[in-house]
Structure 1
Amino acid sequence: MQTEKRTTKSWMKEVREWVVSLGIAVVVALLFQNYVYAQSEVHNVSMQNTLVAGQRLIEDKWSYRLHEPRHGDIVIISGPESDLRLIKRVVGLPGDVVDIQNGEVYLNGEKIEEQYVKGQTVAGSVSVPFTVKEGQLFVMGDNREHSMDSRELGPIARSSIEGKAVFRIWPLPKFGTLSE
């Protein structure tokens, strides 16, 4: 009887340790996904040919706590500007003047080289030249003829930036870092 009692207590202790360990692992994984790195999927064509629908990315959610977004960063946007999560490229930072002339983008009066762009760049409904205010970013998709971006939505609030796309994990032939 004494041995049976010990066996039951030992078994219960083992189960409790497993439940606590698994609970801690789940909490840590959820915190990691919400605040550090997460997996995202591309759902539209606005970033072609850089990114295409169905690709899976690793999103860095913490580095923008240490520094601000930079020109050329591919960011994930989740805010009131759109009902959808968006993936776009940062073109203009606070204080920058973005202009579009003859299908070309000018930043602070100088034409920027954008090897990644697909299609013709037109101004859209935003009046250009456009000066980016503090707390805002001007973003555009790489597929300029098929992108809902700052040219239509207006500037994106810095607080709407969820993170930076840094790594492509699917499909395997495209596995690797994202570069400009």
Structure 2
Amino acid sequence: MVQTAPSSAPAVPRRRRRKTVLTVVVIAVLAGLFALRLWVIEPVGVDLDSMEPTLAPGSIAFVLKTEQARSDAQLGDLVVFPSPADETPVIKRVVAEAGQQIEVRDALLYVDSIPVREPFVDHSTIDGTFYPLTEVPPGTVFVMGDNREQSIDSRDFGPLPLDSIEGVVVWSFNPSFK
């Protein structure tokens, strides 16, 4: 029987190898989540009441940030874009697309002269509100908050350029218990 001389390199204990593998896996998962948040899905906190009752203050909206989502924003979508006032993220609803005509008559939204059914808007709080007939220019959308009385939106800053849309809300929840 031949005996081999002991190796000069110390053997790495199994426990240490497992710990190293576990550390590498955790780092990879965290890096993947960071990349996912950075380029695909991003949580956005809702601080203001301009989207109530759809998104109450304290809600968290998850925003799909892919190029496809941004370029496919369509009627009814909640989109995120930098505020024209201070660049903070803002969430509003797309109510009209390029080429459509928009008007608000006595708090009711009309698109192409057809009244839009909006069950998420409390029309009693905005009775007597008007916005003149306006055509949405190419390359833009018209956005409004669901809480029309409190919302600063396209009625104030004009149609939103499509290239300023950062993403589309795909899911939201309100963690507070009211």
Per the normalisation by structure 2, the TM-score is 0.79
Partner of 1:7: 12
Relative to total residues, which structure has the larger helix share, 1 or 2?
1
Once the 2 structures are TM-superposed, how far is the Cα of residue 106 of structure 1 from its aligned partner? 0.9
Query: Is the Cα contact below 8 Å between 2:106 and 2:130 reproduced in 1?
Result: no
Cα distance in 1 for partners of 2:41, 2:58 equals 19
Once the 2 structures are TM-superposed, how far is the Cα of residue 63 of structure 1 from its aligned partner? 7.3
Which of 90, 107, 112 is the matching residue for 1:108?
Answer: 112
Once the 2 structures are TM-superposed, how far is the Cα of residue 107 of structure 1 from its aligned partner? 0.3
Question: What per-residue deviation string (whole Å, max 9, x for no partner) do you get for residues 138-175 of structure 1?
Answer: 0000111100100001111112212122222333779x
SS at structure 1 position matched to 2:166: strand
Cα distance in 1 for partners of 2:119, 2:160 equals 23
- Give the gaps of 5 or more residues in structure 2: 1-5
Partner of 2:3: none
Cα distance in 1 for partners of 2:69, 2:49 equals 29
The share of aligned pairs that are identical, in percent, is 26
Matched, 1:135 2:135: no
Q: How many residues align?
A: 170
Per the normalisation by structure 1, the TM-score is 0.78
Cα distance in 1 for partners of 2:175, 2:76 equals 23
Cα distance in 1 for partners of 2:175, 2:154 equals 29
